[in-house]
Structure formats: structure tokens, C-alpha cells
Copies of this chain bind each other. A is one copy, B any other.
Amino acid sequence: MSQNLKIVGNALPNMPWEERPEGCHNVMWRSKKNPIIPRDLLPTSNSIFNSAVVPFRDGYAGVFRCDDTNRRMTLHVGFSDDGIKWNIDPQPLQVVGDYGYDPRVCWIDDRYYVTWCNGYHGPTIGVAWTEDFQDFHVLENAFLPYNRNGVLFPRKINGRYAMLSRPSDTGHTPFGDIFYSESPDMEFWGRHRHVMAPAPFEVSAWQCMKIGAGPVPIETSEGWLLLYHGVLRSCNGYVYSFGSALLDLDEPWRVLARSGPYLISPQMPYELMGDVPNVCFPCASLHDPETGRLAVYYGCADTVTGLCFGYIPEIIDFTKRTSIV
């Protein structure tokens, strides 16, 4: 890793952080407080996971996937001083369609954009914006159904808004590539480009059935750092892990490097047991450019929310060193 690595972003010195535990040699490691958000933080929540967090004013705000005890999927706003203890509004956000899940939040220019899997005659990508996490303004769905995991880039590229997404089918989709799309106005989308397909089984099995973008990509001098989930189908169901990739800054559909190994795979009881066992699903991250620290929020077993940590330079180095591109 070059010493000249540049990481874009605002300083975030007080972001949630724990140092790598002694004896641990992994690129990323879990918070000792995991799961940081329990399934029943809300009186009527069945589970809280696959949620998005951003710096907001002096602390943090987020949009949370909170399934209720009907197991309906809804989005809720939450606030936190430290990014660990969260105050979640028990009232669901009113912007979603038939249902809303797996949100991401992305600051672009002057406002926060929320994207999520939106129920409109099937799953597609809903888009809204807010300045204060109180008033939300709904835009058009970005794409036709059936789509999931729509993730915006944190700035315009080539003068246009840019989004990654994973075209899907109507059920537990057994396939899935990541695509890139552009929009001049957040209303009409086009110039769709293929980014990545699942890896061959013999090359990297944890990502051999489908893949999808995770948190908002982080701009660095080495390219866009993208964390993404991958799925393996065992005889007992889907296993969700996540790894990393570097995308070209100007043509993000060009993959510069892509990790063969996973960064985090289900290994803790709270990842192995729950509503959907064996799921680690990242949706958001915080980072401090100065120190290179990265904190990733990820859903655990579709039940609770976990946090894990790493250093961006090390992750970039790992991505390039193990690349399967």
C-alpha cells in the first residue's frame, strides 16, 4: 500500500472504534459489544438489521430496517450520539411503498439521499431525500422491478448521479450481478453498465451465487472502495458473507481489484442463529480519512445489528493482494 493513499471524506475522529484484538490477524474484526442493536429495541420490533448510518450534526443518524412482529418490513429513523446506542423512532417512515427494507443513506452535495428496496408490484429501488431526517421527499423509483440493493455513489460521476444495483427476480433470487446506472436528475436512469458477476465456485465460493453492493462506496486514490455481500448456496440454504472491491474512479463499472477471501463471514452465534441463520449483510460504514479507520454496520442473521472494524489502507491492500480479477 502506497503511503500516498488519499481517502476522501470528512474527519470523524469520534466515530465508533475498537482496536484489533490481540492475537487477531484478520483484516476486519467484530465489536466486543455485538450485537450492538438487539432485535427488540422497539416494543414491537421482531428484528433490527440491514440498516444505514451516517454522520449527522454532532452525532449520527440512520434509517433502520425494523421488522415488526407481523414480520412486516418497515423503515425507521434513529439518532445516536456515539453510533452505538440508538434511539429509534417507533413510528415507521411513511415514504415506502408496499414495503421497504435494506436502506442505504448517502450524502450528496447538500442533502441525504435514502435508497431502499421498495415494494411496487415487486421489489425495486425507492429513492427519497431529507435534510434533517424529519421531512423526507419521495422521488421516483429508480428502476423497473425487480431490483434490490440500490447504492448511490457519494458524488456525481461524469456529471451524473450514479447508482449500483442488483437486478433480481420476485423471490429468493438465485442469481445476481452488480450493475451501474447514471441519472442526470434522479428521475430518469440509464447508461447501464455491468460491473461484476458472481465468482466461479472454484475461485471464490462464498460469492458464487449472487453478489450485491453494501455500504456507500468510499472514494480513495486507489479507486472506489466497495464492500459487497456474496452468497453461497449450501445444501442448507444461503450463506451471506462480505468482501471488498476497488472500482475505477471515473468508470466505476471497471473493477480494478476484488478480494478472493471474504472479510467477514458468519461465525458468531448471533450470526449463525436467528430469523435467517448464516447472514452477515453490510449496509453502511463510517470512516475517518485521517486514521483510515472504518466501522461497518452489518445485519446479523437477519435479526440484529453488528459492528466491525478495520483500517482502510489494510483493506485496500488486502483487496489488491488477493484479487481475483
Contact = CB atoms under 8 A, between A and B. Distances in A.
Interface of A: 25, 39, 43-44, 46, 67-73, 98-99, 119-122, 124, 140-147, 165, 167, 169-170, 172-173, 175, 177, 179, 181-185, 187-192, 194, 197, 202-206, 232, 234-239, 260-262, 265-267, 269, 272-278, 302, 322, 324
Given A69-B261, A236-B237, A272-B277, A191 B202 contact: no
B277 A236 contact: yes
A184 B266 CA distance: 46
14 contacts: A46-B262, A71-B262, A72-B204, A72-B205, A73-B205, A141-B192, A142-B190, A143-B143, A144-B144, A146-B167, A169-B173, A182-B188, A188-B189, A236-B236
Contacts of A192: 120, 124, 140-141, 143-144
A34 B325 CA distance: 39
Contacts of A276: 234-236
Contact of A275 (B98, B99, B167, B234): B234
A317 to B, nearest CB: 15
Contact of A202 (B119, B183, B188, B275): B119
A235 B237 contact: yes
Contact of A191 (B72, B140, B237): B140
A122 B182 CA distance: 19
Contacts of A146: 167, 169
Given A184-B188, A206-B71, A275 B239 contact: yes
Given A189-B190, A236-B238, A278 B278 contact: no
Contacts of A267: 39
B239 A144 contact: no
A219 to B, nearest CB: 24
B71 A204 contact: yes
Nearest to A278: B236
A70 B188 contact: no
Contacts of A272: 273-274, 277
Contact of A121 (B172, B194, B232, B261): B194
B140 A143 contact: no
B72 A202 contact: yes
Given A142-B190, A143-B192, A191-B188, A262 B183 contact: no
B237 A172 contact: no
